[in-house]
Chains A and B, each alone.
Chain A
Amino acid sequence: MSQAADSAAEAWHADRFGRWRRRFGLAAFGAAVVLMWIAIAILAPVIAPYPFEAVDVTKRLLAPSAQHWLGTDALGRDVLSRLIWGSRISLFAGIVVVAIGAALGVLIGGVAAYAGGRAEELMMRATDLVLCFPPIILAMAIAAALGIGVRNTMIAMLVVWWPKFARLARSLVLVQRSQEYVEAAVVMGYGSGRILFRHIVPNAVGPLVVLVTLDVGQAIITFAGLSFLGLGVVPPMPEWGAMVSEGRELVDQWWVATFPGLAILSVVVGFNFLGDGIRDWLDPKSRRR
């Protein structure tokens, strides 16, 4: 502890990059992974070496090779190309579900918390009701009831997703509502809408952004899980969870299931790092040296 203060200061300067890395490194890495996947999704038509639906049963289940970097699947389709196209669906589903869920949740939870009384009670009971079910099973039942398809599955996910955000938004608004700057706004005579949306919501946005970012990863996993159970996409559309499901019965052709799984893992890790990074960045208490 009692090492030379001067040399410590020097070391401090020398380790500037190290500190940056420790503090933002993971977030930067996460952002890079997420951006990479977004780029892949956008550029899919350009970079995918083959069409994703090019069936050729004479080339089925080829091991990774120069022609097919990640091998081919049971219908002879190029796994890499399907992986690349699949990023579109996974990212789209994950981001849209969370975005709409968050918007809905914030609207419902925020208004309920601010209004208090009956509205709040009603909202809490509604979220309680949804939270009575294990999320995956409820989503499953709804998706099964609505019929298979990306849109229906996303609707099913939304039904189980919004309460989480409503509760978060509620607690955030409750925290902010007792802050003095909100009282100041009341004293100024501003209307409730103005106070809620101009004063409270912008300040509650930070934790929300964190949760949203972390949640995109969870949503991607959930969507893939539903797909895996056969409730996600309509073939021949490529989707990572469905691809794992297609490959899981194949014992010797490990590449069919392994690569889409790795894709899910990487994109979720990316979002988690990014979310953690944003959290650290927003919350001075958790800042690392």
Chain B
Amino acid sequence: MTDSAPLLEVRNLRTEFLTDAGPVRAVDGVSFEVEAGATVGIVGESGSGKSVTALSILRLLAENARIGDGSRIAFRGRDLATLDEDEIRRLRGGEIAMIFQDPLTSLNPVLRISKQLVEGMLAHGRQSQAEALRHGIDLLARMGINAPERAVSGYPHEFSGGMRQRVMLAMGFANNPSLLIADEPTTALDVTIQAQILDLLKTLNREFGTAVLLISHDLGVIANVCERVLVMYAGEVVEEGPAEALLAEPRHPYTWALLNAVPRLDQEPPADKRLTAIEGAPPDPSEPPSGCRFRPRCPFAVERCGEHPDLLPVAEGRKARCWVTQAGERLLKPSTAAAVSAPAAEAGQPMLSLRNVVKHYPLRRDALFSPRKVVHAVDGVDLDIGRGETVGLVGESGSGKSTIARLITRIQKPTAGSIRFGDIDLATADRSVLRPLRRRIQMIFQDPYASLNPRMTVGQILSEPLRFHRLVRGPEEAKARVGELLEMVGLSARAAERYPHEFSGGQRQRIGTARALAVEPELIIADEPISALDVNIRAQIINLFVGLQQRLGLTFLFIAHDLAVVRQVSDRIVVLYLGKVMEVATARDLFAEPLHPYTRSLISAAPIPDVAAERKREHIRLAGEPPSPVAPPSGCRFRTRCPVAQGICAEIEPPLAEYRPGHRAACHFSGQA
């Protein structure tokens, strides 16, 4: 082992799964290095083989996985692929630690934190039980957990997601590893928490000198943490290079597409509100296309792409697997289309107007006479939606976004308040009044898998509402209309005969959209319709919405937790925190001059896929986690995490005051940071 040898060297890694449908080659000839103390990121769409690559290193794959013969995974010069079980076991958690995506399921629910924390240390036999526990408590403190002595005796369910991920990190660092593999450690967390964890990762890397292999599908996260980036597509590395250069000027069309498919917080959305989306979906890993695997979706493809390209150097320290950039072509920034004048929102009477809407969920009584606890999911929300307007609703998880959607669509009945739709108060309307209204208000759901009835064909799903609401006469007409609807959302009419499970997530989301459109609604509530999708598919769906909105003049309530996305599609934005509105403004005003400290921290917490820009940004980091909606804080709900909170905030609840026409905020110190 020479000094110049990298800490980890992966050569020609091939991993395949033997499945019922045939062998699946999930990773196909991946090579890369991680130097000691380095930070390396891997990005790529879902299914591109990121996790399998990571798991292959520690040989933590499922039973049906096989690592190919020519693969070499050298860690400090030893080939991990050929170590026996006991030797690799000693490396795991010792020299190489790994943390996973879902902190909720990564901790054993029935064991105390202390046990889970120390067992990794004890397994490597370096410490006694007592020492291990003390070390563990120190680590927890280091990871930013309050009162760690008390915390260790708790059970995982007593911790929030962010806390659990900190515990996971503590476990990872327990044995001072020289390499930490983090597989999407922040994907399941809210932006504000994500920012905390990423900061922590950076510090740990710096202070412990631990190399980090960070996996993410979010270029912004990678840009935030990593020096080098690998981009994976269909089991291959398609591009590799220093983060800054790679993000500034991608040399592979796939990287280019990834970069342009996400709306950026630091850039105004184009006037037509569209994103650059590449069509199609990643290839089926059991039958990769011949030649360049990206060719079927590549907007730059040339004839040569029928030949499979190698990963070759394209610049100093950079490699790409592309014939086009090999030949020296540059991948230009997509041209922004000429602005189409969006129909301005009509002034005057709003189409829908919520006044002081409240929804409380009583929890089940623990005993007969114990007081009933109540979840204050939505706690006095005012909201107006004008005709033809798109209103965005953002907020952290649990802030009550979905509840508002459910109340407007009357899946649930509000506890108090009024929801006026035209002349009718939806909050109190009974079944018969509601029925004709149903088709005028529609909803698009978050989960593309759960929101379509798996036992019905797409045709049945779409024609049922048509016939139920007597919008068509006879099956012939229904069939024709179904065809039209499918084409409207960019699917072929033939899709009508198939079942939902035969479609990909993005396609299903289109079907769900078609279903909502079928009854020709005036208002569509879209509850995080893109959260579950990959960036590219996301871009496709956003473009679809934008197109529909412009063509049909629909009114949208668009719910998301991703600020950039909301900004991309919305005219006006409402920021929600713990069941209360914190700020309302037009998209432009909100970003140009956020008034509420919460809005400001949200904006600054979202990472940007641009290393230089990221470095320049001002960061307001929120401490802690949102309080429980069972017992919201007195006064201003945000005060427990607010960087500018003062005494008054605990006593007086700030009203949602108008600071400028159309720009309201609920803060005693609006605009002061």
Contact residues of A with B, CB < 8 Å?
Answer: 1-5, 8-9, 12, 19, 23, 179-181, 183-190, 194, 199, 202-203, 287, 289
Determine whether B390 belongs to the interface, using a CB cutoff of 8 Å to chain A.
no
Tell which of B12-20, B173-181, B187-195, B368-376 binds the partner.
B12-20
Assembly CA distance A199 to B450 (angstroms): 13
Cβ-closest chain A residue relative to B455: A202
Would you give the shortest CB distance from B287 to chain A, in whole angstroms? Answer: 13
Partner of B439, one of A2, A3, A23, A189: A189
List B contacts of A12 (CB < 8 A). 18, 22-23
Would you give the shortest CB distance from B235 to chain A, in whole angstroms? Answer: 13
- Given A2-B81, A189-B469, A202-B455, A23 and B20 contact (CB-CB distance below 8 Å): yes
Q: Is the CB of A2 within 8 A of B18?
A: no
* Given A183-B443, A187-B441, 16 additional A-B pairs, CB 8 A: A2-B66, A2-B82, A12-B22, A12-B23, A180-B447, A181-B450, A181-B451, A183-B406, A183-B411, A183-B451, A186-B409, A188-B464, A188-B468, A289-B18, A289-B20, A289-B64
Determine whether B398 belongs to the interface, using a CB cutoff of 8 Å to chain A.
no
Determine whether B50 belongs to the interface, using a CB cutoff of 8 Å to chain A.
no
Partner of B67, one of A2, A189, A289: A2
Residues 443 to 459 of chain B near chain A (Cβ within 8 Å): 443, 445-447, 450-455
Q: Is the CB of B20 within 8 A of A187?
A: no
Q: List 24 A-B contacts (CB under 8 A).
A: A1-B59, A1-B66, A2-B81, A2-B82, A5-B14, A5-B66, A8-B18, A9-B23, A12-B22, A181-B450, A181-B451, A181-B454, A183-B443, A184-B443, A184-B451, A186-B409, A187-B411, A187-B438, A188-B519, A194-B468, A202-B453, A202-B455, A203-B454, A287-B20
Cβ-closest chain A residue relative to B449: A180
Determine whether B319 belongs to the interface, using a CB cutoff of 8 Å to chain A.
no
**Contact code string B163-178 (vs A, CB < 8 Å = 1, else 0):** 0000000000000000
List A contacts of B434 (CB < 8 A). 189
Cβ-closest chain A residue relative to B445: A180
Would you give the shortest CB distance from A73 to chain B, in whole angstroms? Answer: 49
Determine whether B126 belongs to the interface, using a CB cutoff of 8 Å to chain A.
no
Determine whether B69 belongs to the interface, using a CB cutoff of 8 Å to chain A.
yes
Cβ-closest chain A residue relative to B408: A187
**Contact code string B421-452 (vs A, CB < 8 Å = 1, else 0):** 00000000000001100110111011100111
Q: Is the CB of A181 within 8 A of B18?
A: no
Assembly CA distance A192 to B576 (angstroms): 33
Determine whether B68 belongs to the interface, using a CB cutoff of 8 Å to chain A.
yes
Determine whether B515 belongs to the interface, using a CB cutoff of 8 Å to chain A.
yes
Assembly CA distance A8 to B14 (angstroms): 13
Q: Is the CB of B453 within 8 A of A199?
A: yes
Would you give the shortest CB distance from B647 to chain A, in whole angstroms? Answer: 43
Determine whether B654 belongs to the interface, using a CB cutoff of 8 Å to chain A.
no
List A contacts of B59 (CB < 8 A). 1
List A contacts of B447 (CB < 8 A). 180
- Given A2-B69, A8-B66, A181 and B453 contact (CB-CB distance below 8 Å): yes
Would you give the shortest CB distance from A209 to chain B, in whole angstroms? Answer: 13
Cβ-closest chain A residue relative to B500: A181
Partner of A3, one of B19, B64, B66, B442: B66
Residues of B in contact (CB 8 Å), total: 43
Determine whether B37 belongs to the interface, using a CB cutoff of 8 Å to chain A.
no
Q: Is the CB of A184 within 8 A of B69?
A: no
Assembly CA distance A8 to B409 (angstroms): 53
List B contacts of A202 (CB < 8 A). 453, 455
Assembly CA distance A114 to B469 (angstroms): 23
Contact residues of B with A, CB < 8 Å?
Answer: 14, 16, 18-20, 22-23, 59, 64-69, 71, 81-82, 406, 409, 411, 434-435, 438-439, 441-443, 445-447, 450-455, 464-465, 468-469, 512, 515, 519
Assembly CA distance A1 to B69 (angstroms): 10
Assembly CA distance A199 to B468 (angstroms): 14
List A contacts of B446 (CB < 8 A). 180
Q: Is the CB of B455 within 8 A of A203?
A: yes
List B contacts of A19 (CB < 8 A). 20
Would you give the shortest CB distance from B524 to chain A, in whole angstroms? Answer: 10
**Number of A-B pairs, beta carbon distance below 8 Å:** 92
Assembly CA distance A183 to B22 (angstroms): 37
- Given A12-B23, A188-B468, A203 and B438 contact (CB-CB distance below 8 Å): no
Q: Is the CB of A189 within 8 A of B18?
A: no
Assembly CA distance A221 to B398 (angstroms): 51
Would you give the shortest CB distance from A117 to chain B, in whole angstroms? Answer: 14
List A contacts of B66 (CB < 8 A). 1-3, 5, 8
Assembly CA distance A113 to B192 (angstroms): 39
Most buried by B among A23, A181, A194, A289: A181
Assembly CA distance A134 to B468 (angstroms): 47
Most buried by A among B65, B434, B443, B446: B443
Q: Is the CB of A5 within 8 A of B16?
A: yes
Q: Is the CB of A187 within 8 A of B453?
A: no
Q: Is the CB of B435 within 8 A of A187?
A: no
- Given A9-B23, A202-B455, A184 and B515 contact (CB-CB distance below 8 Å): yes
List B contacts of A190 (CB < 8 A). 468
- Given A179-B450, A181-B452, A9 and B515 contact (CB-CB distance below 8 Å): no
Would you give the shortest CB distance from B447 to chain A, in whole angstroms? Answer: 5
Assembly CA distance A5 to B23 (angstroms): 9
Q: Is the CB of A188 within 8 A of B451?
A: no
Q: Is the CB of B445 within 8 A of A4?
A: no
Assembly CA distance A261 to B478 (angstroms): 58
Most buried by B among A23, A187, A190, A199: A187
Assembly CA distance A181 to B501 (angstroms): 14
Cβ-closest chain A residue relative to B525: A187
Chain A to chain B: the 6 pairs with minimum beta-carbon distance, closest first: A189-B438, A180-B451, A5-B68, A180-B445, A202-B455, A180-B450
Q: Is the CB of A9 within 8 A of B16?
A: yes
Partner of B409, one of A4, A187, A203: A187
List B contacts of A8 (CB < 8 A). 16, 18, 23, 66
List A contacts of B23 (CB < 8 A). 5, 8-9, 12
List B contacts of A2 (CB < 8 A). 66-69, 71, 81-82
Would you give the shortest CB distance from A135 to chain B, in whole angstroms? Answer: 30
Assembly CA distance A12 to B519 (angstroms): 49
List B contacts of A5 (CB < 8 A). 14, 16, 23, 66-69
List A contacts of B443 (CB < 8 A). 183-184, 187
Assembly CA distance A187 to B407 (angstroms): 11
Assembly CA distance A12 to B19 (angstroms): 9
Would you give the shortest CB distance from B298 to chain A, in whole angstroms? Answer: 28
Most buried by B among A1, A5, A9: A5
List A contacts of B65 (CB < 8 A). 1
List B contacts of A1 (CB < 8 A). 59, 65-67
List B contacts of A23 (CB < 8 A). 20
Would you give the shortest CB distance from B67 to chain A, in whole angstroms? Answer: 5
List B contacts of A203 (CB < 8 A). 453-455
Assembly CA distance A203 to B411 (angstroms): 20
List B contacts of A181 (CB < 8 A). 450-454
List A contacts of B438 (CB < 8 A). 187-189
Cβ-closest chain A residue relative to B25: A5
Assembly CA distance A12 to B64 (angstroms): 11
Would you give the shortest CB distance from A24 to chain B, in whole angstroms? Answer: 11
List A contacts of B469 (CB < 8 A). 188-189
Assembly CA distance A186 to B465 (angstroms): 11
Would you give the shortest CB distance from B28 to chain A, in whole angstroms? Answer: 10
Would you give the shortest CB distance from A268 to chain B, in whole angstroms? Answer: 29
List A contacts of B68 (CB < 8 A). 2, 4-5
Assembly CA distance A8 to B17 (angstroms): 10
List B contacts of A184 (CB < 8 A). 443, 445, 451-452, 512, 515
